[in-house]
Amino acid sequence: MRTAAVVGVGLIGASVALALSRRGVAVYLLDLDQDAVRTVVALGGGIAGPPDRSVDIAVLAVPPSSVGRVLAEQQARGLAESYTDVASVKREPEQAVADGSADPASYVGGHPMAGGERSGPLAACGNLFEGRTWVLTPSEATSRETLNRALALVALCGAVPVVMESAAHDRAVALVSHAPHVLAALMAARLQHAPEEASRLAGQGVRDMTRIAGGDPGLWGDILEANAAAVADVLGEFARDLAGTVRALRSLAVADASRRAEGMTRVIDLLGRGNAGRSRLPVKPGSASRGAVLPVVIGDRPGELARLFAAVDEAGVNIEDISIDHAAGKPSGLVEMVVAADRAEALADRLIAANWTVQQPHPVYPGRWTDPDRGELRPSLSSAASG
């Protein structure tokens, strides 16, 4: 691949442009917003405006509902030999291409699983796709040349290609992205009219569980519309499971001992299935590696985290994820660092030697005990002595 075009230089489009430019591909940048194009040019992402002759592949980084129209327009002007998109649903664009005036042979659907809360070209980064999954959804009409050009694009961006049918892709993202978003929003909506004293009792659990409910309603409305049937299917199954759980809880609330026992069995079963499902998620998006959690007690002063990370740095260990649980604005708290499982014990020893209060490293999932509120008669064995 020698030449490419990017139509729409938001975060994803601009990041593709940067990644390809670094690898020596000549990238032509198209966007209605000329300021955005100039920004990406300044970042070294390519050349402003359309090419003189067809490029090898064009990446349509436009909203799902625009893919069919933009594809037909760009095919009409002869922008590229092959085309792909980056929309987060894949059935709708495929259908639009099949139903419209576009040529489906030179189009393959694509969905790079990368991004985040950033947006716009200034947040772009040539490494955004490194090691990430990039789904490609060829239709029956997609030519082999087009699929191979898209695979070359994915490889040049450092991503890992996964070929799926468009419908399977949409079912998968309904399950792992869109349905969780709706459920988080439904839970957060329950808090809207909660008594003030109830929200004062909220802890880290409900904050994590509803974090994605802070997303933009308009953007998420578009996403859910484009994948509505698949999301409704997942939520319908969830609703049946929920109804059974409510019945089990009602059984637990009655006096009759055998009904209580039956209710408890069902509740424990659900919680166990939750553990099992949770353990199927990779530690990091797009990663199959398992990490270990290393909990370290720190004081809540500006210097503590810096000192801790300097100590971890000295040990040559990379921190993959981190969470901080501490009392509001007061000294002392627990930092949990996720590190490679095979480095955790050695790091713990070094930190203890440096007078850090370190608890026993443990696997990330499952069985993490998250009840913040429970007193115990007997101490557990989960803790190790500090130095």
109 by DSSP, 3-state: which?
strand
Residue 344 CB, nearest distance to its own copies (Å)? 14
Q: Is 351 in the site for its own copies (CB under 8 A)?
A: no
Site for its own copies in 113-152 (CB under 8 A): 113-123, 125, 127-133, 135
Choose the binding region for its own copies from 46-54, 75-83, 99-107, 215-223 (rule: CB under 8 A). 215-223
Residue 178 CB, nearest distance to its own copies (Å)? 9
Site for its own copies in 358-387 (CB under 8 A): 359, 365-385
Tell me, what amino acid is at 169?
H
> How is residue 71 annotated by DSSP?
H
Residue 277 CB, nearest distance to its own copies (Å)? 4
- Based on CB atoms, which residue is closest to its own copies, 150 or 234? 234
Q: Is 342 in the site for its own copies (CB under 8 A)?
A: no
Question: If residue 288 lies in a helix (H) or strand (E), which one and from where to where?
Answer: none
Work out the angle at residue 156's Cα, subtended by the Cα atoms of residues 151 and 162, and round it to the nearest 5 degrees.
35
- Based on CB atoms, which residue is closest to its own copies, 52 or 327? 327
Neighbours of 195 (CB within 10 A): 8
> How is residue 178 annotated by DSSP?
I
Neighbours of 44 (CB within 10 A): 12
Q: Is 355 in the site for its own copies (CB under 8 A)?
A: no
Choose the binding region for its own copies from 50-58, 94-102, 139-147, 204-212 (rule: CB under 8 A). 204-212
Residue 108 CB, nearest distance to its own copies (Å)? 15
Choose the binding region for its own copies from 47-55, 95-103, 142-150, 189-197 (rule: CB under 8 A). 189-197
CA distance 345 to 317: 11
HSE-up (13 A, CA, CB side) for residue 162: 15
Site for its own copies in 286-305 (CB under 8 A): 286-287, 289, 295, 297, 300-303, 305
Pick the closest to residue 286 from 132, 110, 86 (CA basis): 132
Q: Is 98 in the site for its own copies (CB under 8 A)?
A: no
> What pairs with residue 322 in β-bridges?
337
Q: Is 24 in the site for its own copies (CB under 8 A)?
A: no
Residue 50 CB, nearest distance to its own copies (Å)? 16
Side by side, the strands of the sheet bearing 3-7 are: 47-48, 26-30, 3-7, 55-60, 80-85, 107-112, 133-137, 160-163
- Based on CB atoms, which residue is closest to its own copies, 2 or 192? 192
Out of 1, 4, 5, 10, the only residue in the binding site for its own copies (CB under 8 A) is 10
Q: Is 167 in the site for its own copies (CB under 8 A)?
A: no
Rg of the chain taking only CA atoms, in angstroms: 25
CA distance 104 to 72: 10
Applying CB under 8 A, the site for its own copies has a residue count of 195
Any residues with CB less than 8 A from the CB of 380 and at least 6 apart, and which?
none
Q: Is 194 in the site for its own copies (CB under 8 A)?
A: yes
Site for its own copies in 220-249 (CB under 8 A): 220-221, 223-225, 228-229, 231-232, 234-239, 241-243, 245-246, 249
CA distance 75 to 56: 12
Tokens 């064995």 found at: 381
Q: Is 258 in the site for its own copies (CB under 8 A)?
A: no
CA distance 21 to 14: 10
Q: Is 185 in the site for its own copies (CB under 8 A)?
A: yes
- Based on CB atoms, which residue is closest to its own copies, 78 or 203? 203
